[in-house]
Each structure stands twice: as structure tokens, then as C-alpha cells.
Amino acid sequence: MQTEIYAKLDHTPSRFHSDAEGRIRRALRHRSQRLSMVRVFLTDEKSPGGAAGTRCRVVLDTGRSGSVVATGRGSDADAALYDALLRVRDRLRRREQRRASRVRGRAGRRVLPKAA
């Protein structure tokens, strides 16, 4: 899994890139076999109230099954990255659940509705 980080920030902490790569690897360690590339885009932005913040967009290239994109926001780059990684892990989990339910459905099993 390759990692690329693009930051258009006014101020980037000195060790941010190495810390961010480690955080990304830890967050996606169970799925890293299926990921070919992880791209992280960080930008400064102003909220409607005028407060400064950071936006982080994480793009995962999963090979044959396409890509997964999640966006997070925070007061600084670390918080925005953390928020985006939580969202991307949730999207990957839901994607795997959908895929598993489709496979179970194809096997000829009939899914019964839950009792109320």
C-alpha cells in the first residue's frame, strides 16, 4: 500500500507526514492487502461562521472494486485526518457487509424479514 499526502496548508507540523503515514497504516492494517494506493489531500478552509479549520479528503484505490472517498473536518490537520479515517473505515466496513450479503443471497438462501 502506497501513501501520498498532499497538503495545501498555511502551517504544517514538522513531523506530520511521518505521523500521518503511521496513523493511516494502523487504521487500515486489516485491509491493506486489498489497497493499492492511499491519497490524502489537506486544505485550509473557513467555516460559515468565520472560524478557520482544515479539511481532509482520503481516497483509497481498491483495485478492481473502484475507490472509496471520505472527507473529514477538524480544527487542525491531525483532527481532520482522524475524522476522515473514521469515516473511511466505516465506509469500507459497510461495503464489505453489502458484498457479503450479496454473496449469501446468491447461494440460494432466502432472507426472511425480521420479526417485529
Q: Does residue 83 lie in a domain region?
A: yes
pTM of the model: 0.74
Mean pLDDT of 2-8: 83
Enclosing domain of residue 10: 2-105
Q: Do the domain assignments include residue 111? A: no
**CATH assignment of the domain containing 55:** 3.30.160.100
What is the residue type of 52? A
User: How would DSSP label each residue in 35-72?
Assistant: -SEEEEEEEEEE-TTS-EEEEEEEEEE-GGG-EEEEEE
CA 69 to chain centre: 6
Name, in order, each residue with C-beta under 8 angstroms of 47's C-beta and a sequence gap of 6 or more: 53
| Count of domains for the chain | 1
Q: Let me know if residue 21 belongs to a domain.
A: yes
Cα–Cα distance, 107 to 116 (Å, whole number): 26
Q: What is the pLDDT of residue 83?
A: 93
Read off the pLDDT of residues 51-65 as tens digits, 9 standing for 90 and up.
778 899 999 887 777
Residue 114 lies in a domain: no
The more confident residue out of 71 and 32 is: 71
> Is there a domain that residue 112 lies in?
no
In the chain, count H helices and then E strands: 2, 4
Whether 69 is in a domain gets the answer yes
Residue 110: inside a domain: no
Mean pLDDT for the stretch of residues 37-48 = 84
Would 60 be classed as within a structural domain? yes
- Arithmetic mean of pLDDT over the chain: 81
